[in-house]
Chain A
Amino acid sequence: MKLFKRVSVLLCVTLIIGILGVGCQKKEDKKEKEVSQEVSKEASEESKENKDASEDKKPVTLTFVSWNEVGYEYLTEINNVSEAYKKEYPNVTIKVEQIQPTEYDNTMKIRNSANQLPDVFLVRASNLLTYKDIMVPLNDLEATKNNNIATDCALDGNVIGIPQGSFNEFVYYRKDIFEKYDLDIPRTWDEFVDTAKTIKEKGEYIPLLLGGKDSWTTYPFNEYMPLLEANDGKYLNVMASKDEPFTEGEPFYTAYTKIKNLYDSEVCGDDPLGYGWDQQKAMFLAGQGAMLAAGQWFAQEYDTMGGKKEEELGIFILPVNDSKEQPLNVITTAEGFMGTPKTSKHIEESKEFINWFFMSDYYKEYIDYTQQLSTMKGVSADIPFFNEAFEDIDLEYVVYDAGNEEYKRIADTISFDMKGMGQEMLSGKDLEKMMGDMNKKWKAARNK
């Protein structure tokens, strides 16, 4: 028994010493690591051009994560990015990973809390503020200097990501249905609602497909229309400066009244909350619905599903305006901000890769395939399909801004979710009550 006790005590003491030892060692290692990182950073900046060739040849694997399904197909199958990059940087392997778009944000936040972020990844426009402090500034890159949007999206003077592309929002329609009923392209909101009602009266097709079971599908209306109505891409910041932005006469209220009018016309089918995005796409492809609102990104997805967009689809800009004399406001979103986190073990290599991605010919080929607009100076994408929507129209571009810190603070405090509000409106919730409740919550959060 005595011996048992002695052995137990001995083991416990060894264990405690071991844990403390490892802990202290870790601390020292960490300090040493921080110092060496600073030194190596300075050294690498000073002698960037005189790098030793043998160091360059050290094999490095960079992990690159995105949510873009079409982009992933291009990066891995159509024109393998790792192989393309190896032609110039033979020592670097690019490992591409794709995460489902709906899971992407949660997954990346979990990876961040576990210190497991990849070397290079895409940050959504709406998450730039969230990642502000953990990303490496890319101010000194040639790609940043040659980008049309990156510096405008700098936070505290730092560009933390370079947008892969930008896109506009459209209403896609099936040419055969519009021809069958001899319908014109609507140029005002009332015309748009009337077009949908006309298709509904014929009783053959769902006029506007909207898979509201996935709340995000309501974004072309519930998230973007207030900005279009205000003709201000930074309208969310304006909202953050007001106590009651949901009052009658405010752009948000006006936009939501229009949306409510559309949803109440029951032009999205008998039960739009009973089906989601996947079914919405499939129904559109099968010709069960006449229209669908989505971004430029949908065009390539339609073809990937087996459709022939050039033959079957037409597009027009969602006409939020009240009269034809007004110019049409169209929203433009810069998306997929490519950056590298401070936790990456290969920061310099990651920056080099980002620079190459945007500055080489690969970028143009990538945006051509993914049907996005270029964000780089002197590069334009070859996407003739979209020209139709811009013909003979007086356009005004509203560049989407996801909101400043004050907006984010208020929105997070009251769990402000415009897409969720879209679902509630589809379910028939009273708009006046909804706006009144939002005013109260917003004011309370603002003054908190």
Chain B
Amino acid sequence: MFDNRNRQKNIIIVSFLIIPTILLALFVIYPLFKLFYLSFTDWDGMSKTIGFVGTNNYIDVFKDNDVWVSLRNNGIYFVIHLMFIPIEMFIAFLLDDKVRFSKTFKGIVFLPYIINGVAVAYMFSFLYSSQGGVLNEILALFGANPVKWISSEETVNFSLSAVSIWRFCGIHIILFLAGIQSISKEMLEAARVDGASSFKVFSKIVIPNIRTVIEIILFLNVRGALMIFDIPFVMTSGGPGTSSTTFTLYTIQQAFKYSHFGKASAMAVVLLVMIVILSTIQKKIISEKR
């Protein structure tokens, strides 16, 4: 009887493991290998014949000036989001219980994240528009000159980053909040009884205790900044010229506009490697401080 039950248990375990393993192999491992394979070919996305070109695509990626321009644009998103992380952390700390109607505020800060990215981009397109755009109309009320929010090479990436901040701040704050709420209340109360200021509590107790959340958010920041696509795609299509083209947008342009599926695959592999390297460096820095 006992043997039978054990056997059944094992069969169920094995069956349950095999299905996800097959799915993983089919939809993750196989496409990944296919991606690596295509990155060494000259496939144009249409023809049946695929030629092997060795590392030419990777050399092309590194030699292509527009790749570096797009990476610089990604860098702007990365730095701006990074600068906002302490602010997001502090807002989460305040929302923990210090603010009246904090639950309502939590809902409000989380709202932009659940709105569809394309809708957000369209919404901001109208805000930034040079013809009757809300922001320029507000500036006009104060007698200020209109700003070329998305049509000037100098401002376009900052305008787009602001949209990204607006959209993703909420999820960061909610994650920080979850981390802060996991800290024992006794520890925080003891610090306050000992006379620690809010800033001291925040820097000496809260931050060290939410390192794991910080690591996750830093990883999300690296991944998000390097993979940003929908906002520039909808709002500027990477323009004017290539001034707001991001790495992912350029990869898609290479694949579909210029029929370089091989080079686009190589760029996707480079992106993967960059995310792994940058995340590892960030993790090391945080671990050393621990």
CB nearest to A441 among chain B residues? B65
Contact check: which of B14, B133, B260 meets A412 at CB < 8 Å? Answer: B260
List A contacts of B256 (CB < 8 A): 105-106, 109-110
A274 engages B239 (CB within 8 Å): no
Most chain-B Cβ atoms within 10 A of its Cβ — which of A8, A130, A420, A426? Answer: A420
Q: Is the CB of B46 within 8 A of A7?
A: no
Among A50-58, A170-178, A211-219, the stretch that binds chain B is A211-219
Instruction: Specify which chain A residues have a CB less than 8 angstroms from the CB of B252 in the assembled complex.
Output: 106
Digitize A117-147: 1 where CB-to-B-CB distance is under 8 Å, 0 elsewhere. Answer: 0000000000000110110000000000000
Interface segment, A148-156, A234-242, A265-273? A265-273
Known contacts A214-B237, A274-B130, A275-B130; is-contact A109 B151 (Cβ 8 Å): no
Q: Let me know if A271 and B130 touch, CB within 8 A.
A: yes
B40 interfacial by beta-carbon distance below 8 Å? no
Q: Closest CB-CB distance, B11 to chain A, in whole Å?
A: 6
Q: Chain A residues with Cβ under 8 A from B48's Cβ?
A: 133
What is the chain A residue whose CB lies nearest that of B259? A412
CB distance from A337 to the nearest CB of B (A): 15
Residues of chain A lying within 8 A (CB to CB) of residue B133: 274
Given contacts A3-B6, A279-B129, A423-B239, contact A273 B14 (CB under 8 A): no
Looking at the complex, which one of B15, B18, B46, B47 makes contact with A109 (CB distance below 8 Å)? Answer: B46
Chain A residues whose C-beta falls within 8 Å of the C-beta of B47 in the assembled complex: 133
Name the CB-closest residue of B to A14: B18
- For the complex formed, measure the closest distance between the CB of B188 and the CB atoms of chain A, giving whole angstroms: 48
Contact B7 A429 (CB under 8 A): no
In contact, A7 and B7 (Cβ under 8 angstroms):
yes
Q: With A112-B45, A113-B45, A412-B259 in contact, is A3–B10 under 8 Å at CB? A: yes
Please tell me if B150 contacts chain A, counting CB pairs below 8 Å: yes
Does A39 reach chain B (CB closer than 8 Å)?
no
| A11 located at the interface, meaning its Cβ lies under 8 Å from any Cβ of chain B in the complex | yes
- Chain A residues contacting B149 (CB-CB under 8 Å) are 274
Give the number of chain B interface residues (Cβ < 8 Å). Answer: 43
Q: Closest chain B residue to A113 by CB distance?
A: B45
Residues of B within 8 A of A3 (CB): 3, 6-7, 10
Q: Decide yes or no: A213 and B258 within 8 Å by CB, A11-B14, A109-B46 being known contacts.
A: no
Give min CB distance, A29 to chain B, whole Å. 19
What bracket does the count of chain A residues touching chain B fall in? 35 or more
Which of A7, A288, A412, A421 meets B10, CB within 8 Å? Answer: A7
Cβ of A15 under 8 Å from chain B: yes
Please tell me if the beta carbons of A215 and B45 are within 8 angstroms of each other in the complex: no
Interface core residue of A106, A112, A271, A421 (most chain B CB under 10 Å): A271
- Taking a contact as CB atoms under 8 Å apart, the answer to whether A133 and B46 are in contact is yes
The complex places the Cα of A389 from the Cα of B130 at a distance, in Å, of: 32
| Interface residue? B236 (CB, 8 A) | yes
A427 beta carbon closer than 8 Å to chain B:
yes
Write the chain B residue with the least CB distance to A4.
Answer: B10
Q: Does A20 contact B (CB under 8 A)?
A: no
B66 at the A interface (CB under 8 A): yes
Q: Which of A4, A106, A133, A273 contacts B240 (CB 8 A)?
A: A273
Return chain B residues, CB-CB under 8 Å to A275: 129-131
Offer 28 A-B interface pairs, CB within 8 angstroms, sorted by A: A3-B10, A7-B14, A8-B14, A11-B15, A105-B257, A109-B45, A109-B256, A134-B46, A213-B151, A213-B237, A215-B237, A269-B130, A271-B151, A272-B151, A273-B150, A273-B151, A274-B151, A275-B129, A288-B131, A412-B260, A415-B66, A420-B239, A420-B241, A420-B242, A423-B239, A423-B241, A427-B151, A427-B241
Nearest first, the 5 closest Cβ-Cβ pairs linking A and B are A274-B130, A273-B151, A271-B130, A424-B241, A4-B10
B interface, CB within 8 angstroms of A? 3, 6-7, 10-11, 14-15, 18, 22, 44-48, 66, 125, 128-131, 133, 146, 148-153, 236-237, 239-243, 252-254, 256-260
With A269-B131, A271-B130 already in contact, 15 other A-B pairs whose C-beta atoms are closer than 8 Å: A4-B10, A7-B11, A7-B14, A105-B257, A109-B45, A133-B46, A213-B236, A270-B146, A279-B129, A415-B254, A420-B239, A423-B240, A423-B241, A426-B240, A427-B240
